[in-house]
């Protein structure tokens, strides 16, 4: 049977290798294996610096055998082989255990002095010498034994693959070589004219050259070709999803004269910002369009996205349609409900009956809320993942609003949409997204941006407190907090953990950053509360603790008390990252600030300076100057422009973290494509995908591209992308 990219690995390689690859990397088909690309290439003559190997990590090196001795074990049965390898600068030892001397002597003979090869294992250290215990290895052909092939062998590069402790790089290379030798024609996703114009390789040649390059000059053309494949496949899949939504019929939701929206606007005590007006007009047009709205609204912290979303909810409600807003946390959902009720006022709130529905509500209260939702009495519903449950039904779901999309996967968003008949969808994010990331992650959505901020904001100043150079500044941070409280203002202090003694971080918000050389955060809210209890000034202020493991009603009570001004100092985890609005809060102190990502620090900073009170953000860090961790913190202090910070975040962290694993399927499966470096390529691929789909929507004339999309997007991913 001919081997194709769609052949099961079991058929191509046999049951045992297929099982190993599936267990290690989730691979099932030949296409999965050949798209597992080398991360670098080693020269057979290259000797990797042993002195630079990180202890505790699994690494692969090229080295030469310096000594090899087999001997019996002293205190127990068996034998061992002690080998020393080196690179001309440093040395490391290899230790192998055997059942008896014959086996040990065989190993010592194989690892003869002067043999050179690839060695892989977990780096240890014993008596000051680097060590591999029972490493995997592959020796290069001995020059005397294989003189006829010496020139060809030394010219070939060695691909080094992402590997695991149980599946080494050369094992993967052998599997790849076997399937490439057996592989028949490889369909090309690129139209031939594009391939010729861009100077790219055929799909088959690209796979050969990336896996088995003869020289380093073979690698770049292969990578450029496969990046274009990836970009075109990704953008075409996203545009297909956009077109699938546009093929659906939507229920028009027009605003009416003297209706809910007009009455709401008339009662607003302030004017909409120019961006709010522009985005509002875009949404209003979408809501009366021929297909369901599918729009992303991104805007700075405090730019008024909730107001824009509420105006859309009112327009939908005028025809009896319901709007559901899903938020990532109980605290944020409750905050949204209070904000919406306050904005609606005593006249409109009873007509719309905004209702909260979360998983931690008391059973009786939740049943009442669910009944109001199912009957259509509640025209605005705010909740968490509880809205996705089978028991939650709507009378006429006309609009889905997803807040902080980066916390939800595509499938969760679409599961909520599936509860209505092609409802409109509005996605909100306060995390500014660089253009190419938006095009890559949210390529099926129309995009709007709110940049202008409401009038009357006092602004925020941000300072770094670098304790590595100035340890005394830690006391000054708390003096500054006491000064703000003395003026009648309120202070947030945010920690990376709940309790460092128990090593607990937020359950639903794992930290995105692990600083270099540290085991964990220094401060948890529990430890900070204990420390401040003895502070000469702050020990007597009204303090409270807030974190994600508290019961929902307790969290909500603390947040409401803080909003009412009954708490001076709130010690919290990132549960307060988004949506919390306390105009009297003037100061944000972030401890272990280097443990947070750039966008997360920007979000936290946005909790202050929201009213007429000037905002102050103090980023406390022990990270050394010049480290990547310190760069993140200083980048946030340098600007309030979230869009500029988004670009910095992307540069510092890379797209893997920025895209986020929660984005299902094709969106988080970038292999060679890099959204910063390849931004122009992504734009070209988007334009090409649009041209192709305009004349060939079903890709009948582009079978290679159709097959590539089918391989990249699994049935589950496509179901998530296509649910409506």
Cβ proximity of 619 and 473 under 8 Å: no
Cβ proximity of 404 and 200 under 8 Å: no
Average pLDDT value for residue range 679-684? 87
pLDDT tens, position by position, 574-632: 877 555 678 899 999 999 999 888 878 988 888 888 777 889 999 999 988 888 889 88
Does the pLDDT of residue 514 top 50, yes or no?
A: no
Q: Is 480 helix (H, G, I), strand (E, B) or coil?
A: helix
- Exposure of 626 by Cβ count < 10 A (0-12 exposed, 13-18 middle, 19+ buried)? exposed
Q: How far apart are CA 336 and CA 62, in angstroms?
A: 58
Q: What is the widest separation between alpha-carbon atoms in the chain?
A: 95
Q: How far apart are CA 25 and CA 164, in angstroms?
A: 9
pLDDT classification of 541: cutoffs 50, 70, 90: very high
Q: Which CATH superfamily is domain 260-450 in?
A: P-loop containing nucleotide triphosphate hydrolases (3.40.50.300)
Q: Where are the alpha helices (DSSP H) in 318-402?
A: 330-352, 363-375
pLDDT classification of 664: cutoffs 50, 70, 90: very low
User: What angle do the packed helices 305-317 and 330-352 form, to 10 degrees?
Assistant: 40
Does the pLDDT of residue 663 top 60, yes or no?
A: no
Q: How confident is the model at residue 572, as a pLDDT? A: 92
Average pLDDT value for residue range 297-303? 80
Q: How confident is the model at residue 158, as a pLDDT? A: 82
Nearest to 49 by CA among 6, 102, 90: 90
Q: Is 287 helix (H, G, I), strand (E, B) or coil?
A: coil
Strands 322-326 and 380-383: parallel
Residue 342 has which token pair? Answer: 């306050």
Does the pLDDT of residue 537 top 50, yes or no?
A: yes
pLDDT tens, position by position, 141-176: 654 334 334 344 444 688 888 887 678 788 899 999
Q: How confident is the model at residue 163, as a pLDDT? A: 80
pLDDT tens, position by position, 317-343: 999 999 999 988 887 888 889 989 999
Average pLDDT value for residue range 474-487? 94
In the chain, where the domains are located: 44-156, 260-450, 460-639
Query: What fold does the segment set 460-639 form as a domain?
Result: Rossmann fold (3.40.50)
How many other C-beta atoms are found inside a 10 Å radius of the C-beta of residue 191? 17
Residue whose tokens read 């310096």: 66
Q: What is the CATH number of domain 44-156?
A: 2.40.50.140
Lowest model confidence (mean pLDDT) among 412-421, 459-468, 508-517, 547-556: 508-517
Strands (E), 422-579: 424-429, 446-450, 460-466, 490-494, 543-546, 569-572
Q: How far apart are CA 187 and CA 711, in angstroms?
A: 12
Provide the 8-state DSSP code for 499.
B
Q: Where are the alpha helices (DSSP H) in 524-579?
A: 525-532, 552-563
Lowest model confidence (mean pLDDT) among 129-138, 288-297, 424-433, 570-579: 570-579
Fold match, 44-156 / 260-450: no
pLDDT tens, position by position, 61-115: 888 999 999 999 887 788 899 999 988 788 899 988 888 898 889 889 989 998 9
Q: Is 141 helix (H, G, I), strand (E, B) or coil?
A: coil
Rg (CA), the chain: 30
pLDDT tens, position by position, 363-386: 899 999 999 999 999 999 999 888
Q: How confident is the model at residue 458, as a pLDDT? A: 63
Q: How confident is the model at residue 5, as a pLDDT? A: 93
Q: Which residues contact 420 (CB under 8 A, 6 or more apart)?
A: 394, 396, 397, 398, 400
Nearest to 462 by CA among 299, 624, 650, 607: 607
């Amino acid at each position: 049977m001919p081997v194709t990219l769609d052949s099961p690995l079991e058929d191509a390689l046999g049951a045992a290798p297929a099982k190993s690859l599936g267990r290690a990397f989730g691979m099932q088909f030949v296409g999965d294996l050949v798209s597992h690309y080398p991360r670098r290439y080693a020269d057979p003559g290259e000797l990797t610096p042993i002195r630079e190997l990180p202890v505790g990590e699994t690494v692969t090196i090229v080295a030469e055998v310096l000594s090899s001795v087999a001997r019996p074990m002293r205190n127990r049965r068996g034998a061992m082989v002690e080998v020393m390898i080196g690179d001309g600068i440093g040395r490391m030892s290899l230790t192998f255990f055997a059942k008896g001397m014959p086996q040990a002597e065989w190993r010592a003979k194989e690892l003869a002095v002067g043999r050179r090869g690839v060695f892989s294992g977990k780096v240890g250290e014993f008596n000051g010498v680097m060590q591999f215990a029972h490493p995997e290895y592959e020796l290069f052909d001995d020059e005397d034994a294989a003189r006829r092939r010496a020139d060809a062998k030394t010219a070939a590069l060695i691909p080094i693959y992402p590997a695991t402790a149980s599946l080494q790089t050369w094992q993967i290379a052998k599997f790849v070589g076997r399937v490439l030798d057996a592989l028949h024609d490889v369909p090309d996703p690129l139209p031939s004219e594009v391939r010729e114009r861009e100077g790219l390789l055929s799909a088959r040649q690209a796979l050969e050259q990336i896996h088995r390059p003869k020289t380093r000059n073979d690698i770049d053309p292969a990578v450029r070709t496969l990046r274009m494949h990836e970009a075109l496949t990704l953008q075409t899949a996203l545009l297909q999803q956009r077109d699938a939504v546009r093929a659906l019929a939507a229920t028009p939701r027009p605003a009416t004269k003297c209706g809910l929206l007009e009455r709401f606007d008339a009662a607003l005590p302030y004017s909409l910002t120019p961006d709010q007006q522009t985005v509002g007009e875009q949404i209003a047009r979408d809501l009366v369009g021929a297909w369901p709205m599918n729009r992303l609204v991104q805007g700075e912290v405090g730019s008024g996205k909730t107001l824009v979303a509420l105006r859309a909810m009112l327009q939908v409600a005028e025809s009896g349609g319901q709007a559901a807003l899903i938020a990532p946390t109980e605290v944020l959902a409750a905050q949204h409900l209070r904000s919406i009720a306050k904005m609606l006022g005593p006249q409109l709130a009873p007509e719309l009956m905004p209702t909260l529905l979360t998983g931690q509500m008391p059973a009786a209260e939740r049943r009442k809320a669910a009944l109001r939702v199912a009957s259509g009495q509640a025209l605005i519903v705010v909740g968490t993942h509880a809205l996705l449950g089978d028991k939650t039904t709507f009378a006429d779901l006309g609009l889905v609003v997803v807040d902080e999309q980066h916390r939800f996967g595509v499938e969760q968003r679409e599961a909520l949409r599936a509860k209505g008949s092609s409802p409109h969808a509005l996605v909100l994010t306060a995390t500014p997204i660089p253009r190419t990331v938006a095009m890559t992650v949210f390529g099926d959505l129309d995009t709007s941006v709110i940049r202008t901020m409401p009038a009357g904001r006092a602004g925020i100043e941000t300072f770094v407190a670098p304790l590595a150079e100035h340890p005394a500044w830690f006391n000054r941070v708390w003096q500054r907090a006491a000064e703000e409280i003395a003026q009648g203002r309120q202070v947030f202090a945010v920690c990376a953990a709940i309790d460092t003694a128990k090593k607990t971080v937020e359950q639903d918000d794992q930290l995105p950053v692990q600083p270099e050389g540290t085991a964990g955060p220094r401060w948890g809210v529990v430890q900070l509360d204990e420390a401040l209890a003895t502070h000469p000034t702050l020990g007597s202020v009204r303090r409270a603790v807030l974190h994600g493991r508290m019961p929902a009603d307790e969290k909500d009570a603390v947040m409401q008390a803080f909003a009412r001004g009954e708490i001076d100092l709130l010690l919290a985890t990132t549960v307060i990252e988004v949506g919390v609005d306390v105009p009297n809060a003037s100061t944000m102190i972030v401890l272990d600030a280097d443990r947070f990502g750039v966008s997360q620090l920007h979000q936290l900073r946005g909790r202050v300076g929201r009213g007429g009170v000037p905002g102050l953000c103090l980023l406390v860090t022990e990270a050394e100057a010049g480290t990547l961790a310190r760069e993140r913190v200083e980048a946030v202090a340098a600007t309030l422009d979230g869009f500029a910070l988004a670009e910095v975040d992307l540069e510092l962290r890379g797209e893997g973290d920025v895209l986020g694993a929660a984005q299902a399927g094709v969106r988080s499966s970038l292999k060679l494509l890099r959204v910063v470096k390849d931004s122009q390529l992504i734009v070209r691929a988007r334009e090409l995908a649009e041209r192709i789909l305009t004349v060939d929507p079903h890709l009948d004339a582009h079978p290679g591209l159709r097959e590539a999309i089918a391989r990249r997007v699994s049935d589950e991913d496509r179901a998530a992308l296509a649910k409506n």
